[in-house]
A and B are shown apart, each in its own frame.
Chain A
Amino acid sequence: MDISLLDIAVSTGVAKTGMTIGQVFKECVMHNVPGIPYCDKNNRVVGRISIRHTLKISSTPGYLVGAAHLLGDDIWHLSTSKIDARSLLDMPVEKFVLENIATVTSVSPIVKALAIMEKYNTGYVFLVDAGIYKGIVTRMGVAKLMLKAEEL
């Protein structure tokens, strides 16, 4: 597959200081991506906001995860454990920034992007050239590309 990652990268907005989790979720949902980069005032990628991580630390305490296979369905009162949905969406993004970021460049081969996703147990990787964010590469994007190549 001799195709640039730029061809399958999804261009999204970025999270910045002052934004809320609600705004980040909107951006993720609009582009169907699991997370977006967190940039400083010079537009350099310094972190990321992930839907999975945000929901994990806000709404899925460890004691629930450990016993997930034992849970019945009558546990509605446990869903409001930490914070409700409204207050989560109004929260500033800073509290949810992850500092570990997996990146590739536009000249990286797809196999490198897949290897990095595998290594960091994630479904996406940011495409960053010279510190500037260009888009997000997901496994779904790679799968779409493979199907497209087969059709041709």
Chain B
Amino acid sequence: MEPAASSLSPDMIIAALILAISYILIFSEVIHRTSVAIIASIVMIIVGMLSGFYSQEAAMAAIDVNTLLLLMGMMMVVAMLRPTGGFEYVAIRMARMARGDGRLLLVYLSLVVSLISMVLDNVTTIIIFAPLTVLITRMLHLNPMPYLVAEAMLSNIGGVATLVGDPPNIMIGSAGGISFNSFLLHMIGPVLISWLCTTAMLLFFFRDHLKIKVSGSVDLDESRAIKNYPALWKALASLALVIILFFIHHHLDLYPSFVSFIGLAMAMALLRPRPEDLFGEVNWSVLFFFAGLFVIVGGVKASGLLDLAGHQLAVMAKEPDMILLTAISLIWVSALLSAVFDNIPFTVTMIPVILGLEGQGVNITPLWWALALGVGVGGNGTHIGATANIIAVTELENCGLSGAKISPTQWMRFGLPTMFFSLIAASLFYAVFFNFFL
């Protein structure tokens, strides 16, 4: 590796400007974020080629194909599972198990959503569970707001636990060469602590809503939820194969993306979906957004700017006594930024910075966990901190019930304390068991 430049060069300034303008446009939502990512990536390549710091080949190499294919594969597996009605069945069963106890209902629904979010995309999970939750709470004469907020927040936290639970994790795992088992083993502790703290905080904040004596009953027939039992079993068998392979993929030398495609191939063979329909379910906009970001950040890295930034960070992180402080700082900076901005651009930018530290003699392993924890838990602070939050807020707006709507300020009133409390708990866990994260 070439030694990092000690001062800003014109190439770095140009690349930084393109990055800054594109991120401002992405965060301000003036133009759709995918359009911004594609336009800015093309600008970065052209400018980089003219200035001589970037090339088409380098741009292609900057795209993390493993991340994109893993996301695509899982999207298609979920697309085949979703219409079977399995999610609806589980939601109704949970509502019955709560036996009219508002607090138990919140815990059960959130627990299921969190567990599903550990292996499937939590946005899809919330899209399915949110309208059902509104219906169930309406039947029980309960305000749906606490339930949707809890599902969104706890699904965000659940997703942090695994390599495939959250797009930032997929990127971190892919860049750091982290296995599914290692990710789960390291993250389950802080995630469990954060989950319990968040649940306790939400039960406290919403105590007035939840202690109301439930008078209605859940008049929903779960036996009609599953539209096609053979299809459900086939889709579940494919998903089970994916999960089993995730646990052993590092022993078999299989990329996580390849594992998802093995499950996808099995589901396609068993369910025989129309490829046109299946590909229509892929969120291409998200995939191209990520690809664009990889190219943009690849250009900034090629300009040498990230190495320069990493060099400054390395001075601090290289000291064995300072690595814990660096990691804790990373958790909090990531969390605070992720509470306000989309956590994907931040993750994509931080990954090469952290990778660059490795070449400067820093043990980067604890920084991967810190980054995953920070960007994952930080999203709960505001209603725009995570896509699941936005879906919950939108569903509450659209359900037309007075008292169910939640304003951004209201979200922050319990989102920020919940985020801080769970981050403090996770940071303490991380610090106490720091040797485990090294």
B-binding residues in A (CB < 8 A): 61-64, 66-67, 69-75, 77-78, 81-82
Q: Could you say which residues of chain A place their CB within 8 Å of the CB of B69?
A: none
Q: Could you say which residues of chain A place their CB within 8 Å of the CB of B401?
A: 81
Interface centre among B130, B222, B399 (most CB of A within 10 A): B399
Q: A64 CA to B222 CA in the complex, in Å? A: 15
* Contact of B225 with A by CB under 8 A: yes
- The 8 Å CB contact of B88, one of A61, A70, A72, is A70
- The 8 Å CB contact of A61, one of B219, B221, B400, is B400
* Contact of B52 with A by CB under 8 A: no
- The 8 Å CB contact of A62, one of B88, B131, B220, is B131
The bracket for how many chain B residues form the interface is 20 to 34
In the complex, the answer to whether A67 meets B131 with C-beta atoms within 8 Å is: yes
Q: A78 CA to B141 CA in the complex, in Å? A: 10
In the complex, the answer to whether A67 meets B88 with C-beta atoms within 8 Å is: yes
Beta-carbon contacts under 8 Å, B198-232 to A = 216-217, 219-222, 224-225
Q: Could you say which residues of chain A place their CB within 8 Å of the CB of B219?
A: 71-75
B119 to chain A, nearest CB (A): 23
CB-defined A-B contacts under 8 Å, sample of 16: A61-B134, A61-B398, A61-B399, A63-B130, A63-B135, A63-B138, A63-B399, A66-B132, A70-B92, A71-B219, A73-B219, A78-B138, A78-B139, A81-B138, A81-B400, A81-B401
B349 to chain A, nearest CB (A): 37
Closest to A77 in B: B216
A59 to chain B, nearest CB (A): 9
Q: Could you say which residues of chain B place their CB within 8 Å of the CB of A73?
A: 219
In the complex, the answer to whether B216 meets A72 with C-beta atoms within 8 Å is: no
Q: A97 CA to B135 CA in the complex, in Å? A: 28
Known: A70-B92, A81-B401. A64 touches B221 (CB 8 A): no
Beta-carbon contacts under 8 Å, B51-77 to A = none
B399 to chain A, nearest CB (A): 6
Q: Could you say which residues of chain A place their CB within 8 Å of the CB of B217?
A: 74
In the complex, the answer to whether B221 meets A70 with C-beta atoms within 8 Å is: yes
Q: A69-B225, A74-B219 are in contact. List 7 more A-B contacts (CB 8 A).
A: A63-B130, A66-B131, A67-B135, A72-B220, A77-B141, A78-B138, A78-B139
Which 6 pairs from chain A and chain B are nearest by CB?
A: A72-B219, A63-B131, A63-B134, A82-B400, A74-B219, A70-B220
Q: Could you say which residues of chain B place their CB within 8 Å of the CB of A75?
A: 139, 219
Q: Could you say which residues of chain B place their CB within 8 Å of the CB of A72?
A: 219-221
Closest to A83 in B: B400
Known: A78-B138, A81-B400, A82-B400. A70 touches B131 (CB 8 A): no
In the complex, the answer to whether B220 meets A63 with C-beta atoms within 8 Å is: no
Q: Could you say which residues of chain A place their CB within 8 Å of the CB of B399?
A: 61-63
Q: Could you say which residues of chain B place their CB within 8 Å of the CB of A61?
A: 134, 398-400
Q: A74 CA to B138 CA in the complex, in Å? A: 13
Known: A62-B131, A63-B134. A70 touches B400 (CB 8 A): no
Closest to B222 in A: A70
Q: Could you say which residues of chain A place their CB within 8 Å of the CB of B138?
A: 63, 78, 81
Q: A146 CA to B132 CA in the complex, in Å? A: 44
Q: A74 CA to B221 CA in the complex, in Å? A: 11
Q: Could you say which residues of chain B place their CB within 8 Å of the CB of A64?
A: 135
Q: A90 CA to B400 CA in the complex, in Å? A: 19
Q: Could you say which residues of chain A place their CB within 8 Å of the CB of B134?
A: 61, 63
Closest to A64 in B: B135
Closest to B133 in A: A63
In the complex, the answer to whether B224 meets A70 with C-beta atoms within 8 Å is: yes
Known: A78-B138, A81-B401. A71 touches B220 (CB 8 A): yes
Q: A74 CA to B215 CA in the complex, in Å? A: 13
Interface centre among A70, A72, A73, A82 (most CB of B within 10 A): A70
B212 to chain A, nearest CB (A): 15
B214 to chain A, nearest CB (A): 13
Q: Could you say which residues of chain A place their CB within 8 Å of the CB of B88?
A: 67, 70
Q: Could you say which residues of chain A place their CB within 8 Å of the CB of B220?
A: 67, 70-72
Beta-carbon contacts under 8 Å, B102-138 to A = 130-132, 134-135, 138
A77 to chain B, nearest CB (A): 7
A9 to chain B, nearest CB (A): 36
Q: Could you say which residues of chain A place their CB within 8 Å of the CB of B222?
A: 70
Q: A70 CA to B221 CA in the complex, in Å? A: 5
In the complex, the answer to whether A63 meets B132 with C-beta atoms within 8 Å is: yes
Interface centre among A63, A66, A72, A75 (most CB of B within 10 A): A63
Q: Could you say which residues of chain B place their CB within 8 Å of the CB of A70?
A: 88, 92, 220-222, 224-225
